[in-house]
Amino acid sequence: MNEHPVWSYVHRAQGDLHALSNAVWATPETCYAETRSAAAHVAELKRQGFTVTENIAGIPTAIMGEAGEGGPVIAFLGEYDALAGLSQIADLVERKPMEQGANGHGCGHNLLGSAAMLAAVAVRDWLRDTGTPGRVRYYGCPAEEGGAGKTFMVRDGAFADVDIAISWHPHSIPAVMLGSSLANARVDFSFTGRASHAAASPHLGRSALDAMELMNVGVNYLREHMPDSARIHYAIIDGGGISPNVVQGETKVRYVVRDKTAPEMLKLLARVRKVAQGAALMTETEVQDEVLAAVSNLIPNDPLCAAMQRNLDLLGPPPFDDLDRAYAARFQATMTEEDIATAYESVGMRPRADLALPDFVVPEGTPVPALAGSTDVADVSWVVPTVQLWGATYAIGTPFHSWQMVAQGKSPLALKGMTHAAAVMAATGVDAILDSDLRKRARDDLAARVGPQGYVCPLPSEAEPPVAAMAGK
């Protein structure tokens, strides 16, 4: 079997980064509150000999490590934020939180950041031993789950001199990530009315709760008149208190508005704002909104996707063994047929009932649907040629944002899949360093897709990273 020259470096460094992944799994922290996770990444970067920059774009948990000299700049993008309410005992094949209501790594970002750093370490070691000019960077990017950390980092110029950006995401089937994603904005709508006694003087009150409820009803009617590709979701952050005998004076609702492109999403958001204003008018209250996060749609890059596919084909599927397959089968038994079918459909393949773990990689040319979700990697992809991998780290059918994902997150099969993803990313990075024509074709592909207007940040100019507002939410 052919070997890529960087793969021996990946396997040499994997133990340290497996330990990092497990440490981050054990300290799950959410959007902008990833203090221990970021500190663990900083410590490992320094131990590995990287020069570390912290507080990127004014975000305390955004970091960057760099090594190498001269040549092109290759960036590996990592994440380490968790999700609220998904605490789960490791390896247990039933829902049982370690701590009721606590956080958990239900999207695999403990693996995501650690594998990206593993790829960066391997490429750094290869650069050093071969004397090849080039710089490798690891970007620790906070708040992917709803905080748009990378959008703020892009706006601040953190990727201005990067030639190629490479990332991945945990999944259950190995594939090059093709297609686009939805642009979105996360906005808080705060209503202010006038509190009063709900029985003795209801006529003096102006209910912020009524206004919020009317807004939600109005947006639900708006769904009939928006594009099929669009999505709107909301969560009540503050219902105005628990006393029904008080007219609620203040309420807050958080909306996520999505559509195919940032301009289309912003048009839909403008309509949602009008609904909020109408609700305030009907109830004689006031409404203000604050944009907490916004991300663009993802720009794929054909030359880089082809380069990553070649390395994925060369490497083949992860080296899972019978113990891994038996472990995965126990978790797969907790999933529905629809869960399993959805995993296959997300990479453009027909479902198979005989596999708990993949013994294949998705072939080149497989038509895949666009991503139904959103990611702040998209904003990087507008300014730097970017490529991503789906890595196989869970039983086939494991739903994103689920307790099953948390439970499997530090298993031997997850760590094998993490190393496999790092190997594909590292090989793609080395290829980009060695092949100036690949870098040029990647830049040309990006320029053609972006067009003359270039990148337009979806964040309002006055928006700042909502570290205080979002931390711990």
For the entire predicted model, the pTM comes to 0.93
Residue 470: predicted pLDDT: 63
pLDDT band at 21 (very low <50, low <70, confident <90, very high): very high
- Is residue 204 within 8 A of residue 196, CB to CB? The reply is yes
Let me know the angle formed at the C-alpha of 131 by 126 and 136, rounded to the nearest 5 degrees. Answer: 50
- Domains delineated in the chain: 7-181+297-450 (3.40.630.10), 183-292 (3.30.70.360)
The mean pLDDT value for 323-329 works out to 98
pLDDT (mean) for 350-368:
93
Average confidence (pLDDT) over 83-94: 97
The chain-wide mean pLDDT, for the chain, equals 95
Q: Residue 2 pLDDT more than 70? A: no
What confidence tier does 179 reach under pLDDT thresholds 50, 70, 90? confident
* CB atoms closer than 10 angstroms to residue 387: 28
> How far is the C-alpha of 103 from the C-alpha of 101, rounded, in Å?
7
Mean pLDDT (whole number) for 164-175: 98
32/141 Cα distance (integer angstroms): 10
pLDDT reading at 419 higher than 50: yes
7-25 and 109-130 helices, crossing angle to 10°: 150
- Which pLDDT does position 162 carry in this prediction? 98
Q: In the predicted model, is pLDDT for residue 154 greater than 90?
A: yes
- Quote the pLDDT of residue 389: 97
Q: Is the pLDDT of residue 360 over 90?
A: yes
How high is the pLDDT of residue 472?
45
Reference 235, options 187, 196, 273; nearest CA is: 187
pLDDT tens digits, one per residue of 283-320: 999 999 999 999 999 999 999 999 999 999 999 999 99
Three-state SS sequence of the chain: CCCCCCHHHHHHHHHHHHHHHHHHHCCCCCCCCCHHHHHHHHHHHHHCCCEEEECHHHCCCCEEEEEEECCCEEEEEEECCCECCCCCCCCCCCCCCCCCCCCECCCCHHHHHHHHHHHHHHHHHHHHHHCCCEEEEEEEECCCCCCCHHHHHHHCCCCCCCCEEEEEEEECCCEECCCCCCEEEEEEEEEECECCECCCCHHHCECHHHHHHHHHHHHHHHHHHCCCCCEEEEEEEECCCCCCCECCCEEEEEEEEEECCHHHHHHHHHHHHHHHHHHHHHHCCEEEEEEEEEECCCCCCHHHHHHHHHHHHHHCCCCCCHHHHHHHHHHHCCCCHHHHHHHHHHCCCCCCCCCCCCCCCCCCCCCCCCCCCCCCHHHHHHHCCEEEEEEECCCCCCCCCCHHHHHCCCCHHHHHHHHHHHHHHHHHHHHHHHCHHHHHHHHHHHHHHHCCCCCCCCCCCCCCCCHHHHCCC
CA distance 315 to 1: 9
How many CB atoms within 10 Å of residue 25?
23
What pLDDT, on a 0 to 100 scale, did the predictor assign at position 1?
46
pLDDT above 70 covers a percentage of the chain that reads 99
Confidence of residue 434 (pLDDT cuts 50, 70, 90): very high
pLDDT in tens, 120-139: 999 999 999 999 999 999 99
At residue 335, the pLDDT reads 96
Which tens digits make up the pLDDT trace of 216-244?
999 999 999 999 989 999 999 999 999 99
Is the predicted pLDDT of residue 372 greater than 90, yes or no?
Answer: no
